[in-house]
Amino acid sequence: MLSEGRGVARRCAVWGSPIGHSLSPALHRAAYAALALHDWSYERREVDASGFADAFAGLDGTWVGLSLTMPLKEVALGAATTVTPVAAATGAANTLVRGTDDPSAWTAHNTDVHGLTTALRLAGCTDPTSLLVVGSGATARSAIATLAPGGRVVLMVRDRVRPETFGQAEAAGLVVETVGLGEWAAAAEVDAVVSTVPPASVPDLDGLPVVTHRDQRPVVLDVVYGSGRTPLQRAARERGWSVAEGTDMLLHQATEQVRLMTGHEAPLSAMSAALRAALLDRRAER
């Protein structure tokens, strides 16, 4: 991490495909402004999996960090010199940070786990012991990583669970169950439901259990953001669940990225205000 930004250009960016929807630039630029890192910049670039290696090889010494979104969270691991335990366990990196002692070295991080943990906590789900996760890709593995050994995860998928996701859950010492899409009876006893798939892919929401006789309301977290309430969020509200916001996950994974890339604690209030403004602008454009 490089902690100073005076006189020397420092460049960061978010890469992925598609990338036009990303709100990461608003969050990171707000952080740089609040931290008076006037020589830092943050860009957005369309990069797919096949183009990642060439794009990464083309980075010059001004580049400090990258945020990675789909479909780059898995391919980015191969570019790293060092992989943190969380990134290794999930097989996914949403952050690459250049080393200070060795500028040729890059470290792969997964800050999605921090974002998910914080979003669930803010909605009242602290230290969950059981989850139902819709999907089994990279973000699903980040959700699984919020559970401590001995916890229980139910994976709701259309066909079959990705082997690497099943393997991660077993290696973490979790009890693993699988159900088909729309088999919502499995959600009756979990602490939280985390959906990692497009909202239109989540069927049969009439079957989501009604919350009764629970000491603490379970939580639904739909990781998508920016398009208003999703059908899953609306169904959860109607049935007595607490709803965690995908924007909270986005915000808090970004605060951790800012800390890793700049060496400064992230200015949460400034980043939160920038996120609210960006969401309002997006809604006004529709």
Lookup: tokens for 82: 């060092």
Contact assessment for residue 42 and residue 25, using Cβ atoms and an 8 Å cutoff: yes
Label residues 222-259 b or e (16+ Cβ within 10 Å = b).
Answer: bbbbeeeebebbebbeebebbbbbbbbbbbbbbbbbbb
Per-position DSSP letters for 102-134, written without gaps between them = -TT-EEEE--HHHHHHHHHHHTT--S-SEEEEE
Non-local CB neighbours of 113 within 8 Å, separated by 6+ positions? 86, 90, 142, 145, 146
CATH of span 124-244:
3.40.50.720
Residue 270's SS3 state is helix
Looking at residue 6, its pLDDT comes to 54
Q: Mean pLDDT, the chain, as a whole number?
A: 94
Where is pLDDT greater, at 112 or 224? 112
- In terms of Cα–Cα distance, which of 26, 30, 48, 67 is closest to 253? 67
> Any idea which residues carry the catalytic annotation?
73
Cα 132 to Cα 90, 158, 189, 218, 250: the distances in Å are 17, 14, 9, 11, 20
Q: Whole-angstrom Cα distance, residue 220 to residue 123?
A: 9
- Please state, in angstroms and rounded to a whole number, the distance separating the CA atoms of residues 30 and 43: 13
Q: Which fold is adopted by the domain 10-110+248-285?
A: Rossmann fold (3.40.50)
135: left (phi over 0), alpha (psi -120 to 50) or beta: left
Which one-letter amino acid corresponds to residue 115? G
Q: How many residues does the chain have?
A: 286
Q: Residue 58 above 50 pLDDT?
A: yes
Partnered with residue 67 across adjacent β-strands are 14, 95
Q: What is the mean pLDDT of residues 24-39?
A: 98
Across residues 61-90, what is the average pLDDT? Answer: 96
Higher pLDDT, 34 or 200: 34
Query: Which residue bears the tokens 């973000």?
Result: 139
Are 105 and 138 contacting, i.e. CB atoms less than 8 angstroms apart? no
Q: For residue 284, what pLDDT is reported?
A: 78
* Backbone φ and ψ of 180, nearest 5°: -80, 165
Contacts of 130 (CB under 8 A, 6+ apart): 147, 151, 152, 153, 154, 189, 190, 191, 192
- Over the stretch 172-215, which tens digit does the pLDDT of each residue have? 999 999 999 999 999 999 999 999 999 989 999 999 999 987 67
Q: pLDDT (tens digit, 9 = 90+) per residue, 76-101?
A: 999 999 999 999 999 999 999 999 88
Q: What is the pLDDT of residues 122-148, one digit of tens each?
A: 999 999 999 999 999 999 999 999 999
Predicted pLDDT of residue 1: 46
| Residue whose C-alpha is closest to residue 271's, from 141, 118, 160 | 118
Q: What is the mean pLDDT of residues 152-169?
A: 95
Domain borders along the chain are 10-110+248-285, 124-244
CB atoms within 10 A of CB 267: 18
Spatial distance between the Cα atoms of 224 and 142, rounded to a whole number of angstroms: 14
Per-residue pLDDT for 263 more than 70?
Answer: yes
Cβ atoms 175, 153 nearer than 8 A: yes
Same topology between domain 10-110+248-285 and domain 124-244: yes
Q: In degrees rounded to 5, what are phi and psi of residue 104? A: -85, -10
Termini Cα distance of the chain = 38
pLDDT at 160: 92
